[in-house]
Amino acid sequence: MVTLQSRSLRVYADALEYLDQTRLPQAEEWVRCDSPEAWQHAVKHLAIRGAPLIGLSAAFVLAQYAARHPQSDWQLVSDRLRATRPTAVNLMYCLDAMEACFAQGAHALAERAQALFEEDRALCQRMAERGADLLASGDRVLTHCNTGAL
């Protein structure tokens, strides 16, 4: 059962699925990700890309890891996620927010990841609304870095 979903991310209790962006626009392929290592591979190979998706997916990977592993391992995993794409601002923002919850336990990490998801959804909506006012019918847009929700 999907607990949260956007255009490029589906979150389940024990894993997530991402829309493989290396396959677009020819195919829409959803790939299961159930470990920090799988997430790192996807980011390094650009299957997960775009600042918001990188940050949010890392937050959920960390929360899901925390639910199954001892708290003593959480910082190491967070550091490894950071090192995967050290210039990704959203990744740092999301992991900073997650680390601030470490002392409160795994449940707090899951709640924080969900809050980050909703925050991003609202930001993408505002970005789309503001951008829509600038576009005429038939205009095309080339984005750089932050694409928002696909």
Residue 41 in tokens: 């591979």
At 18-51, the pLDDT tens digits run 999 999 889 999 999 999 999 999 999 999 998 8
27: Cβ–Cβ under 8 A, 6 or more apart, which residues? Answer: none
Query: What angle, rounded to 10 degrees, do the helices at 51-68 and 74-84 form?
Result: 160
At 42-95, the pLDDT tens digits run 999 999 998 899 999 999 999 999 999 999 999 999 999 999 999 999 999 999
The amino acid at residue 147 is: T
Decide yes or no: CATH 1.20.120.420 for domain 4-122.
yes
Distance (Å, whole) CA 46 – CA 116: 22
Q: Where are the beta strands (DSSP E) in the chain?
A: 4-5, 9-11, 16-19, 30-33
Model pTM above 0.85: yes
Asked if pLDDT for residue 111 goes beyond 90, the answer is yes
Q: At residue 8, what are phi and psi to the nearest 5 degrees?
A: -130, 5
